[in-house]
Amino acid sequence: MSETIRVLLTEEQVDSRIKEIGEQISKDYAGKEIHLVCVLKGGSFFMCELAKRITIPVSFDFMSASSYGSSTKSSGIVKIVKDLDEPLKDKNVIIVEDIVDSGRTLSYLVKMLGDRDPASIKICTLLDKPDRRVTDVKVDYTGFEIPDEFVVGYGLDYDQKYRNLPYIGVVEFN
Ligand code: IMP
Ligand code: MG
């Protein structure tokens, strides 16, 4: 089976939306410091671009959770592959994700990280597929709501490929 990629959101659209979110976060947290928690690997491109657009003091940490194998179907099981390096106590945490799909990963992470006593915890995602949600998860900052299609690029992969695309594309299987 081979696949082709159809552009859904151009590089310009993604970059200008990330700039807006960065400005919004800087405004919402004015006078405070924030701690970005990047969910690897997908959230990495988004977090770097977002951090560049935030004008208040920022620190970051990385974790890796997986609910997908190499297929496009959720297994429903969230596994922590790499935990954070730093404690979250008294920090204003923003979890930075590539995409919210079923919501299972984020509802698990919010609960797990919330137990570590942060001052606050919010969720920021580049993409949201609201039609696919099976758990209740409150997303505070969303780049784009997209239809129920499998997307790649800007950190998102299909079978570990296409993360490096500078735009968001839909995978079409031929
Ligand atoms: P959830 O737990 O079902 O919300 O799944 C979230 C994770 O599944 C994301 O962080 C992605 O790693 C992966 N995922 C969900 N939808 C897509 C997609 O369309 N393309 C690539 N990865 C996806
Ligand atoms: Mg992810």
Q: Is residue 167 part of a domain?
A: no
Which letter, b or e, does each residue of 83-94 get, where b requires 16 or more Cβ atoms within 10 Å of its Cβ? ebeeebeebbbb
Answer whether 155 contacts ligand 1 (Cβ < 6 A): no
**What confidence score (pLDDT) does residue 67 get?**
72
Q: Is residue 163 part of a domain?
A: no
Ligand nearest to the CA of 38: 2
Answer whether 60 contacts ligand 1 (Cβ < 6 A): no
5, amino acid identity: I
| Domains contained in the chain, number | 1
CA-nearest residue, atom 20 of ligand 1: 151
Q: Which residues are catalytic?
A: 101
Answer whether 151 contacts ligand 1 (Cβ < 6 A): yes
157 Cα nearest atom in ligand 1:
21
Instruction: Give the span between the Cα atoms of 30 and 147, in whole angstroms.
Output: 33
Q: Kindly tell me if the per-residue pLDDT of 148 is higher than 90.
A: yes
**What confidence score (pLDDT) does residue 72 get?**
54
Q: Is residue 1 part of a domain?
A: no
Phi, psi (deg, nearest 5) at residue 94: -125, 120
Q: Is residue 86 part of a domain?
A: yes
Most confident of 1-5, 69-73, 112-116: 112-116
Radius of gyration of the chain, Cα coordinates, nearest whole angstrom: 16
Q: Is residue 2 part of a domain?
A: no
Write out the two tokens for 13: 């659209």
Q: Give which of 124, 152, 93, 122 is closest to 21, Cα–Cα.
A: 124
Domain range spanning residue 107?
10-147
Q: Kindly tell me if the per-residue pLDDT of 110 is higher than 60.
A: yes
**What confidence score (pLDDT) does residue 68 get?**
56
Q: Kindly tell me if the per-residue pLDDT of 73 is higher than 60.
A: no
Q: Is residue 74 part of a domain?
A: yes
Answer whether 49 contacts ligand 1 (Cβ < 6 A): no
| pLDDT tens-place string over residues 16-66 | 999 999 999 999 999 999 999 999 999 999 999 999 999 999 999 999 998
CATH of the domain at 86: 3.40.50.2020
Going from the Cα of 35 to the center of ligand 2, the distance in angstroms, rounded, reads: 18
67 Cα nearest atom in ligand 1:
2
Q: Kindly tell me if the per-residue pLDDT of 153 is higher than 80.
A: yes
129 Cα nearest atom in ligand 1:
16
Instruction: Give the span between the Cα atoms of 124 and 95, in whole angstroms.
Output: 6
What's the full length of the chain, in residues? Answer: 174
CA-nearest residue, atom 17 of ligand 1: 150
pTM reported for the whole predicted model: 0.94
